Amino acid sequence: MRHFGLTFNRYFEKWMFIIIPGSLVLGFAFASQLAPFIRTVPYLFAYVTLSMAIGCGFGQLREVLRKPGIMALTFAIAHLLSPLAAYGIGSLVFGADSPYVVGLVLFTVIPLGVSSVLWVSLSGGSVPLILAMVVLDSALSPFVVPAGIHLFFDSAVDVQAGPIIIDLLMIIVLPTIIGVTLNQLSRGRIQGIVQPYSAPLSKLCFIAVVSLNASAIAPHLDQLKKDMLVLVPVVILLVGLCYAMGFIGTAKLRNNEQQVTVSYATGMRNISLGIVLALGYFSPLAAVPVVLSIMIQQPVATAHHYVLQKLNKNNAGETAVRHVR
């Protein structure tokens, strides 16, 4: 069973860019059958958060606190510059009062994505740094998300911060605290013990969250068909910009490991949480850009990984030439 769990987890991560869009299709196709289970989404998501947090201990959090500059820069790009870009692009294309603009901004104010840890590892970034930043950003989400929404839509969107904060505390902060505490009490051993079982289950929960939220959006597909030709390119542009802002914004640091880490941190977001919030507190159409981000985020991550590998090879070649000279 242990071997099966690890193998399943490895193949899921390898084919995630196909599995996640496939989960969306299943959600749309079986919308009526899945509708009664939509209420379970927050609980499923809380487990996904717990599974992620078990891999992070207090030591990794302290490591980030020793680098306040890189952490502040990452959060500024992710939650200040990116929302400004989202609001500007969305307002220009759809008008400031469009629910699609709400969805685009929501994509940029939700916490950093858990799957960024995988891509940072594959691309030669700092895994402890990205993991700790994901945990800290998730813990700050009850303050960041409502503040970001009210900053841009205080007069246009009738949303109460209180219920959002309570939901974020229950599905993000509390599971994070439990996971980090378990890691600390076990001196980091718990992840190796439970990962063969918890990781595959968390992936299945993630698929369920995506499919169930797609089923909630399904009744609005007629409206989506009219807007998709414009909306899809806008979402691709925004996701690409988020990666680019992280990469370019850290270029002056001249630290390849940090540049890789920050570019994935600013480019990948906790999309499942975004869908939960969009469907719970806004028009269902506001969830559409967030849903599209799921389909686009992983392929863009693949392309970004390819670009990073090319840049690393070119830099290595230039360094070798300088040594020869």
Which domains are present in the chain?
2-314 (1.20.1530.20)
3-state percent breakdown (helix, strand, coil) of the chain, nearest 5: 85, 0, 10
Cα 165 from Cα 53, distance rounded (Å): 19
3-class DSSP state for residue 97?
Answer: coil
Q: What is the pLDDT along the chain (325 residues), one digit of tens a residue?
A: 677 777 877 777 677 667 877 887 888 889 889 888 888 887 887 887 788 778 777 777 777 677 788 989 999 999 999 999 999 999 999 998 888 998 899 899 988 887 687 678 778 888 778 877 887 887 788 788 888 888 887 644 555 556 667 777 777 778 888 888 888 888 878 878 887 888 888 888 878 877 887 787 777 666 667 778 889 899 999 999 999 999 999 988 888 889 999 999 999 887 767 777 777 777 778 878 887 886 677 678 878 888 888 877 766 555 544 544 5
Cα 42 from Cα 32, distance rounded (Å): 19
Q: What is the DSSP string of 163-181?
A: HHHHHHIIIIIHHHHHHHH
**Residue 170: its pLDDT value, please?**
79
**Residue 314: its pLDDT value, please?**
65
Cα 80–chain centre separation: 16
> How many CA atoms does the CB half-sphere of 265 hold within 13 Å?
35
280 in Cβ contact with 313 (< 8 Å):
no
pTM of the predicted structure, to 2 decimals: 0.73
